[in-house]
Amino acid sequence: MRRELLSVTGAEGIGPYTLLRVARGRLDAGVPGQFFMLEAPGRVLPRPMSLCSASPRELTFLIDPIGPGTRALCSLGSRDKLHILGPLGNGFDLEVERPLLVGGGIGVAPLPRLSEALGGPPAVLGFRSDWHAEAAALVPNAETCIEPILVTKLLPEERHDVLACGPAPMLEAVRSLAPAAQLAWEAPMACGYGACHGCAVEIGGELRRLCVEGPVLRRGGTEHGGTRGSPVSPLLRRAGSTDRAGAPVSVLVQMHR
């Protein structure tokens, strides 16, 4: 893990999202599913972002501009610089026999790099609109659905090693169908390395820091003693709001603003 001041090399719109390109500097790209803290100039708190792709010279991050912090990141241009800290947390276990990638919404962000690391396995992706689904072009071999069709409808009946990233209700549904799945959870994060307890979630009946224990939990979190519902559900209950489908995903998104 290191923190570097890096130059933005470009930014392009993909549906409602922005793919931010940054010179790699000496940053280690880490394991797919690990995350980085991106500090937009003039903003107090950094934002946690998973790496979308990495080349020897460049890192890319797919960002959903849903609040002041993420909009500041998406407005950066090629003359700007930002501090990036990482890689942080635990990524996906790549020792899998028959991988299937599952993504929902901005949860597609780490899947291009994960797909590359696993040799381009099949993927199923769910989005709320055709506009959002433009991000599916980043993931090879992807089958896509649009709401109200849920991505879990695309899960094949044959056994796969499922690796998933998306909103909490989607991960809950995936876990109920594939209990051994590796799930990348979202939580509000202020520091990213275990110091602030801002990402504490209920895992195995105890509050643990998702930035240290996760964000990827193996077997949906059961290797940590099991979760009752989503490990982020206490945060969601505290925030006390639901999205238009009755699911509390938007609360998490708001916490990431």
Residues in Cβ contact with 52 at an 8 Å cutoff, skipping those fewer than 6 apart: 19, 60, 61, 62, 109, 110, 112, 113, 138
Q: Which of the residues 77 through 106 are near ligand FES (CB under 6 A)?
A: none
Residue from the set 15, 65, 140, 194 that interacts with ligand FES by CB under 6 A: 194
> Which one of 25-33, 60-68, 72-80, 183-191 is the stretch in contact with ligand FES (CB under 6 A)?
183-191
- Count of all residues that appear for the chain in the document: 257
Three-point CA angle 25, 31, 254, nearest 5°: 85
What does the block give as tokens for 56?
């020897």
196 touches ligand FES (CB under 6 A):
yes
Instruction: Please report how close the Cβ of residue 35 comes to ligand FES at its closest, in angstroms.
Output: 10
197 touches ligand FES (CB under 6 A):
yes
Closer of 57 and 197 to ligand FES (Cβ): 197
199 touches ligand FES (CB under 6 A):
yes
How does strand 17-23 pair with strand 58-63? Answer: antiparallel
Instruction: Please report how close the Cβ of residue 51 comes to ligand FES at its closest, in angstroms.
Output: 17
CA distances for 186 relative to 5, 101, 211, angstroms: 25, 17, 9
Q: Which of the residues 124 through 143 are near ligand FES (CB under 6 A)?
A: none
**Contact by Cβ (8 Å): 220, 184:** no
Instruction: Please report how close the Cβ of residue 212 comes to ligand FES at its closest, in angstroms.
Output: 6
190 touches ligand FES (CB under 6 A):
yes
195 touches ligand FES (CB under 6 A):
yes
Instruction: Please report how close the Cβ of residue 194 comes to ligand FES at its closest, in angstroms.
Output: 5
Q: Residue 104, exposed/middle/buried by CB under 10 A (0-12, 13-18, 19+)?
A: buried
Instruction: Please report how close the Cβ of residue 239 comes to ligand FES at its closest, in angstroms.
Output: 16
Closer of 17 and 35 to ligand FES (Cβ): 35
Rounded CA-CA distance 118/192 in Å is: 26
CA distances for 246 relative to 100, 151, 169, 176, angstroms: 27, 17, 10, 18
189 touches ligand FES (CB under 6 A):
yes
Residues that bind ligand FES (CB under 6 A): 189-192, 194-199, 209, 211
